[in-house]
A and B are shown apart, each in its own frame.
Chain A
Amino acid sequence: MFARALPDRSVLLALGALAAAAVLYLGIGARGDLGFILMFRGSKLLALITVAVAVAVSTVVFQTISNNRILTPSIMGFDALYLLIQTVLVFTLTGVGFAYLDPYSKFALETGLMLAASLLLFGTLLRNSRDLSRMILTGIIFGTLFRSMTSLLNRMIDPSEFSVIQSASFARFNSVNADLTWLAAGITLLVSGWLIRRHRTLDVIALGRETAINLGVNHDREARHLLTLVALLVSVSTALVGPVVFFGLLAAALTYQVAGTWRHVVLLPLSGLIAATILVGAQTLFERVLGFQASVSVVIEALGGLAFLYLILRKASR
Chain B
Amino acid sequence: MIGIRDLDVSLTGSPVLHDITTTLPAGRLTALVGPNGAGKSTLLATLGRLVAPTRGEVELDGRPLLDYPDRELAQRLSVLRQDAPIGPRLTVEDLVSFGRYPHSRGRLTDLDHARVRHAIDRLDLRAFAGRYLDSLSGGQRQRALIAMVLAQDTDVILLDEPLNNLDLAHARRVMQIAREEADAGRTVVVVLHDLTVAAAYADHVVALKEGRLYAEGPSDEIMTPAVLSSLYDTPVSVATVENRRVVLTV
The contact of B102 among A130, A200, A216, A218, by CB within 8 Å, is A216
Distance of A206 Cα from B87 Cα, bound (Å): 6
Number of residue pairs across A and B with beta carbons under 8 Å?
A: 69
Contact B108 A3 (CB under 8 A): yes
> Is the pair A214, B88 in contact by a Cβ cutoff of 8 Å?
no
Interface residues of A in 123-168 (CB under 8 A from B): 130
Q: Which residue of B has the minimal Cβ distance to A218?
A: B70
Q: Does B187 contact A (CB under 8 A)?
A: no
Q: Is the CB of A215 within 8 A of B74?
A: yes
Which residues B100-117 have CB closer than 8 A to chain A? Answer: 101-102, 105-108, 113
- CA–CA, A200 to B75, complex, Å? 17
Asked whether, in the complex, the Cβ of B106 is within 8 Å of the Cβ of A200, the reply is yes
B84 partner residues in chain A, CB cutoff 8 A: 208, 210-211
With beta carbons under 8 angstroms apart, the residue of B86, B89, B107 that contacts A211 is B86
Residues 29-45 of chain B, each 1 if its beta carbon lies under 8 Å from chain A, else 0: 00000000000000001
A216 to B87, CA, bound (A): 18
Chain A: interface residue total (CB-CB under 8 A): 21
Partner of B88, one of A2, A130, A207, A213: A207
Chain B neighbourhood of A2, CB < 8 A: 97, 106-108
Q: What is the interface of chain A, defined by CB distance below 8 A to chain B?
A: 1-3, 67-68, 130, 200, 203-204, 206-208, 210-211, 213-218, 262
Which A residue sits closest to B69, measured CB to CB?
Answer: A216
Instruction: Report yes or no: B107 in contact with A208, Cβ–Cβ below 8 A.
Output: no
Given contacts A3-B108, A204-B106, A216-B71, 12 further A-B pairs with CB under 8 A are A200-B101, A200-B107, A203-B106, A204-B101, A207-B87, A207-B98, A208-B86, A211-B86, A214-B74, A215-B99, A215-B102, A216-B75
- Residue among A206, A213, A215, A262 with the most chain B CB within 10 A? A215
Q: Is the CB of A215 within 8 A of B87?
A: no
The answer, yes or no, to whether B19 is at the interface (CB within 8 Å) is: no
Q: Which among B75, B85, B89, B99 is the interface contact of A262 at CB below 8 angstroms?
A: B89
Chain B positions within 8 Å of A200 at CB level: 101, 105-107
Minimum C-beta distance from A206 to chain B (A) = 5
Contact B106 A210 (CB under 8 A): no
B102 partner residues in chain A, CB cutoff 8 A:
215-216
B28 within 8 A of A: no
- Report B64-99 residues with CB < 8 Å from chain A CB: 70-75, 78-79, 81, 84-90, 93-94, 97-99
Instruction: Count residues of B near A (Cβ-Cβ below 8 Å).
Output: 33
Closest to A214 in B: B79
Q: Is B48 an interface residue (CB 8 A)?
A: yes
On chain B, the residues within 8 Å of A207 by CB distance are 86-88, 98
CA–CA, A210 and B50, complex, Å:
6
User: Which single residue of chain B is at the shortest CB-CB distance from A3?
Assistant: B107
> Which of A2, A204, A218 has most B Cβ within 10 Å?
A2
A262/B90 in contact, CB under 8 A: yes
In the complex, which residues of chain B have a beta carbon less than 8 angstroms from the beta carbon of A208?
84-87
The reply to whether the CB of B49 lies closer than 8 angstroms to some CB of chain A is yes
Q: Which residues of B contact A214 (CB under 8 A)?
A: 48, 50, 74, 78-79, 152
Q: A130 vs B70: C-alpha distance in the bound complex, in angstroms?
A: 23
- Looking at the assembled complex, report how far the CB atom of B9 sits from the nearest CB atom of chain A, in whole angstroms: 15
Q: How far is the CA of A215 from the CA of B108 in the complex (A)?
A: 14
Chain B residues with Cβ below 8 Å from A215 are 74, 98-99, 101-102, 152
Q: How far is the CA of A266 from the CA of B222 in the complex (A)?
A: 54
Q: Which residue of A lies closest to B149 (CB)?
A: A214
Nearest-CB residue, chain A, relative to B78:
A214
Residues of A within 8 Å of B72, CB to CB, are 216
- The minimal Cβ–Cβ distance linking A259 to chain B, given in whole angstroms, is 11
B residues near A217, Cβ cutoff 8 Å: 70
Q: Complex: how many Å from CA A218 to CA B52?
A: 13
Q: Closest chain B residue to A128 by CB distance?
A: B12
Decide: A1 and B48 in contact? CB cutoff 8 A: no
